[in-house]
């Protein structure tokens, strides 16, 4: 090697590239170098990111180009296998087994129905029963506890099975596909970033672009306002859309189509992997009014009758076996005939909003499919459509029109919601339907989202791939989200990756479903699948299922297990625990084996109170003084300082150059709750919106004069009231340390819009207005140098 270098340097005209080429050539004989054919077939290596010294160079390097032979292999991108399909995964949110038209549901979903008719419609497919865990399993192909996703990311507890962070030993499938010649793009709901990384400073390791996607447009958390969403583009928070008539579902499909067209017109011939995760049909149930009106009166028969109708339709359509029985009404659901007229009116309107939102999402899916056809991409594109869990029970008995009130233990009454009947589904509401309609959406199963009975985890699953699937129809084989990644890799002709980016990978526990494409009646190849969610547990093995629902706060050792022969008892109605105790004990033991294997333990039934654990890390460091600047990104609620229930002050350093001073200095929240510090018509003001229950406003007794000033409000916490969600405090306004206003007895909630909200904004109020004293965005029309926040 030294002689080669010495000779090279002595030759006149040899430049650094030539020396580098000599180095490359001399390294080819090393045992650490794999043949190029290996890099193309291992499914784990992208030659464009390997160090050049590790590449095989098969050209000839001489002193001059006339006598040398170039070879481009080391820098050419890997191509996907020739017959590999494009892949699109469409994820619906909180859509149960009995919602879609093609599953016997009451919602009109013609475009999804067409996908099912022309492809494979699975009727025995299962999820984890909660959103973050399901999305992690769907994209990584490992069980959710293996991925540190026992629950949603915000509910991380500090145990291996629930760190809320996906380890790089289980990379997501877009990373594998990207390294094998695919372009990768994601749109919509993510909810896989650890809550500690909800900041504009990252870390971005588990944001979409750190997880194998090359492009991203969507939202990080579990839900967002569909009319005014808090959005991320790639690694940056962007401004909230202000377009009239805007809806997120439409925007997501617009962006998806645009990105695919951009990718195609690049003329590279590369395949694409697209992940499209709608906010629909998670709360808030936001949808244009015409879609709601289409369902007016359709649900007036009530949820008991509706459930029977869906059940009958499922049998007629062969979605469920003929011998399936409809379980009795769930304990938490009131009989429809026991309700009064106002209750029925409110509950029906909330269900009409849900149905309208789902049909609206279906229409956007139809637009996407039409665009694929127009681009001649429909035949060799594999579209997978799935929901993340069963229908949601989070609306409880009555439903809500302001979810933040529900989260603050101050739910609305039916009387209050009845007054808003015509507003439900609009931007003025944040709705979710009552639990009775959730039961209908999960027909024919028991229970709902968050549970390990079938209502929580048996979901619609459709695969469409016209050029490959020649025997479309219903498939009844038992499968789970953990089987999707192996299916994609087999369909693409790619092996299971053993190592990715230098990190050894955990083996996939799933089973590819490709065998079902050509063998409709073949017995399922899956043998076992465990379940655990918030303390409830289940296990399926060879057609039998043991399951226990755990009451939060109770002793796990007192949980009662049930036993079902699901091959014969589709809807879990005939409990065999007493008559076949040996089988039950066998399955319970098997559950504990799986729990040890996949780091399920310790069992934990905590929900919202996980966030109050004092050992939990925070997204952003605690400071004595927090400093913020105008024209910067919105600070996510997870990364903003905790001010509610604490005394605090906010000081804006401004330069006033004219007498017509208007605009927001700083605000937190939405029209459903929050506070705003602003100037209107020259008067300094503070407004507080307590969950739309009460709105407080105080303004200065004099205008702000021209010049350089410090504008401040101080909130002094007084005491906590009987209601644990409310706090009371006094507010004082200051201009240059001179008190100019005061308001006593301001009541605040425990949290504002931690899921849907916009966090902390400086210099404007994008999205929805925190108070009704101004119209958004109400940008400050003079100069803000900085704003300081002090939390006592």
Mean pLDDT in residue range 183-203: 95
Is residue 38 over pLDDT 50?
no
Per DSSP, the residues of 414-426 read HHHHHTTGGGTTS
Local structure of residue 42 (DSSP, 8 states): S
Pairwise CA distance, residues 465 & 459, whole Å: 20
Reported as a single tens digit per residue, the pLDDT across 113-153 is: 999 999 999 999 999 999 999 999 999 999 999 999 999 99
> What is the predicted pLDDT for the residue at 27?
36
Q: What is the pLDDT of residue 612?
A: 73
**What is 197-251 written as a DSSP string?**
G-STT---TTSGGGTT-SEEEEESSS---SSS---EETTEE-PPP--TT--HHHH
- Reply yes or no on whether the pLDDT at 193 is more than 80: yes
Question: Is pLDDT of 311 > 70?
Answer: yes
Is the pLDDT score of 2 beyond 50?
no
CA distance 23 to 66: 20
**In 3-state terms, what secondary structure has residue 173?**
helix
- Whole-angstrom distance, CA of residue 244 vs CA of residue 228: 10
Sign of the torsion formed by the C-alpha atoms of 47, 51, 57 and 59: positive
Question: What whole-number distance in Å separates Cα of residue 96 and Cα of residue 303?
Answer: 15
CA-CA distance, 517 to 149, in Å (whole number)? 30
The CATH 2.60.120.200 domain(s) of the chain lie at 626-791
Q: Which residues of 752-782 are buried (b: 16+ CB within 10 A; e: fewer)?
A: bbbbbbbbbbbbbbbbbbbbeebebbbebeb
pLDDT at 13 over 70: no
Total H helices, total E strands in the chain: 17, 29
For the chain, give every residue range classified as CATH 3.40.720.10. Answer: 86-532
* Residue scoring higher pLDDT (205 or 621): 205
Q: Tell me the Cα Rg of the chain.
A: 29
Question: Using omega within 30 degrees of 0 as the cis cutoff, is the peptide bond preceding 631 cis?
Answer: no
Q: What backbone torsions phi and psi does residue 69 show, to the nearest 5 degrees? A: -125, 120
Q: Where in the chain is the domain with CATH 3.30.1120.10?
A: 533-611
Question: How many angstroms separate the CA atoms of 53 and 329, rounded?
Answer: 67
CATH class of residue range 86-532: alpha beta
Q: What integer best gives the mean pLDDT of the chain?
A: 91
What tokens were used for 398? 């009555």
Angle between helices 16-27 and 2-10 (to 10 degrees): 160
Of the CATH numbers 3.50.50.60, 2.60.120.200, 1.10.8.60, 1.10.287.3510, which one belongs to the domain with range 626-791?
A: 2.60.120.200
d(CA 189, CA 224): 9
CATH architecture of the domain 533-611 equals 2-Layer Sandwich (3.30)
Contacts of 353 (CB under 8 A, 6+ apart): 285, 287, 292, 424, 425, 431, 433
pLDDT tens readout for residues 462-513: 999 999 999 999 999 999 999 999 999 999 999 999 999 999 999 999 999 9
Q: Torsion angle, CA of 242/244/249/250, rounded to 10 degrees?
A: -120
Q: By percentage, how much of the chain surpasses pLDDT 70?
A: 91
Nearest to 577 by CA among 611, 547, 607, 606: 547
Query: Residue 30, class by beta-carbon neighbours within 10 Å (0-12 exposed, 13-18 middle, 19+ buried)?
Result: exposed
Residue that is written with structure tokens 């760190």 in the block? 163
> Which of 2-16, 320-334, 448-462 has the lowest average pLDDT?
2-16
Task: Give the pLDDT mean for 688-714.
Answer: 96
Element holding 146 (H helix, E strand): none
pLDDT digits (tens, 9 = 90+) for 64-74: 999 999 998 88
| CA distance linking residue 24 with residue 409, whole number of Å | 67
């Amino acid at each position: 090697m030294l002689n080669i270098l010495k000779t090279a340097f002595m030759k006149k005209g040899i430049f650094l590239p030539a020396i580098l080429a000599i180095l490359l050539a001399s390294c080819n004989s090393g045992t650490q170098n794999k043949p190029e054919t290996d890099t193309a077939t291992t499914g784990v290596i992208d030659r464009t990111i390997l160090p050049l010294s590790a590449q095989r160079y098969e050209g000839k390097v001489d002193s001059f180009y006339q006598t040398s032979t170039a070879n481009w292999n080391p820098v050419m991108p890997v191509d996907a296998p020739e017959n590999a399909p494009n892949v699109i995964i469409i994820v619906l949110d909180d859509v149960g087994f009995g919602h879609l038209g093609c599953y016997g549901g009451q919602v009109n979903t013609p475009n999804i129905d067409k996908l099912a008719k022309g492809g494979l419609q699975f009727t025995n497919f299962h999820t984890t029963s909660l959103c973050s865990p399901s999305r992690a399993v769907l994209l990584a192909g490992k069980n959710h506890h293996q991925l540190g996703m026992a629950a949603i990311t915000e509910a991380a507890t500090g145990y291996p099975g629930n760190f809320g962070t996906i380890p790089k030993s289980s990379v997501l499938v877009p990373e594998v596909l990207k390294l094998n010649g695919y372009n990768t793009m994601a749109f919509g709901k993510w909810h896989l970033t650890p809550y500690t990384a909800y900041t504009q400073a990252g870390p971005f390791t588990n944001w979409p672009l750190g997880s194998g996607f090359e492009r991203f447009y969507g939202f990080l958390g579990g839900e967002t306002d569909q009319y005014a969403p808090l959005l991320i583009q790639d690694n940056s928070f962007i401004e909230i859309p202000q377009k009239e008539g805007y809806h997120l579902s439409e925007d997501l499909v617009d962006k998806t189509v645009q990105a695919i067209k951009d990718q195609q017109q690049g003329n590279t011939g590369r395949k694409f992997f697209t992940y499209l995760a709608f906010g629909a049909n998670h709360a808030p149930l936001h949808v244009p009014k015409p879609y709601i009106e289409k369902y007016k009166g359709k649900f007036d028969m009530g949820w008991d009758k509706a459930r029977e109708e869906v059940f009958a339709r499922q049998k007629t359509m062969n979605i469920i076996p003929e011998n399936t029985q409809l379980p009795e009404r769930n304990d938490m659901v009131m009989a429809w005939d026991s309700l009064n007229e106002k209750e029925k009116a409110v509950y029906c309107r909330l269900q009409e909003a849900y149905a309208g939102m789902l049909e609206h999402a279906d229409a956007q899916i139809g637009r996407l499919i039409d665009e694929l056809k127009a681009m001649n991409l429909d035949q060799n594109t594999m579209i997978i459509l799935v929901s993340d869990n069963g229908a949601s029970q989070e609306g409880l008995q009555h439903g809500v029109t302001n979810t933040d009130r529900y989260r603050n233990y101050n739910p609305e009454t039916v009387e209050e919601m009845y007054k808003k009947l015509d507003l439900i589904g609009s931007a003025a509401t944040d709705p979710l339907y009552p639990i009775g309609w959730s039961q209908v959406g999960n027909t024919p199963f028991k229970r709902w989202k968050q549970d390990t009975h079938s209502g929580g985890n048996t979901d619609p699953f459709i695969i469409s791939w016209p050029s490959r699937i020649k025997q479309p129809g219903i498939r009844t084989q038992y499968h789970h989200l953990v089987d999707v990644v192996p299916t994609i890799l087999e369909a693409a002709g790619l092996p299971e990756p053993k190592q990715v980016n230098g990190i050894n990978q955990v083996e996939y526990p799933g089973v590819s479903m490709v065998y079902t494409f050509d063998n409709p009646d073949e017995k399922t190849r899956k043998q076992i699948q465990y379940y655990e969610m918030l303390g409830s547990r289940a296990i399926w093995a060879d057609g039998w299922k043991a399951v226990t629902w755990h009451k939060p706060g109770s002793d796990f050792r007192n949980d009662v297990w049930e036993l079902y022969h699901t091959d014969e008892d589709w809807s879990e109605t005939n409990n065999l625990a007493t008559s076949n105790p040996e089988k039950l004990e066998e399955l319970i033991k098997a559950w504990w084996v799986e729990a040890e294997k996949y780091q399920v333990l310790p069992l934990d039934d905590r929900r919202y109170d996980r966030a109050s654990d004092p050992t939990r890390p925070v997204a952003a460091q605690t400071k004595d003084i927090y400093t913020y600047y105008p024209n910067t990104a919105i600070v996510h609620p997870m990364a903003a300082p905790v001010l509610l229930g604490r005394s605090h002050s906010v000081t804006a350093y401004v330069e006033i150059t004219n007498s017509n001073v208007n605009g927001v200095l700083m605000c937190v929240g939405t029209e459903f709750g929050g506070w705003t510090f602003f100037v209107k018509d020259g008067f300094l003001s503070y407004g507080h919106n307590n969950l739309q229950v009460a709105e407080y406003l105080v303004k200065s007794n004099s205008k702000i004069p021209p010049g350089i000033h410090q504008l401040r409000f101080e909130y002094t916490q007084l005491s906590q009231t009987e209601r644990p969600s409310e706090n009371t405090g006094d507010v004082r306004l200051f201009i240059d340390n001179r008190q100019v206003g005061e308001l006593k007895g301001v009541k605040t909630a425990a949290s504002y819009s931690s899921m849907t909200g916009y966090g902390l904004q400086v210099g404007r109020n994008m999205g929805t207005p925190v108070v009704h004293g101004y119209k958004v965005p109400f940008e400050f029309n003079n100069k803000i140098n900085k704003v300081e926040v002090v939390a006592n």
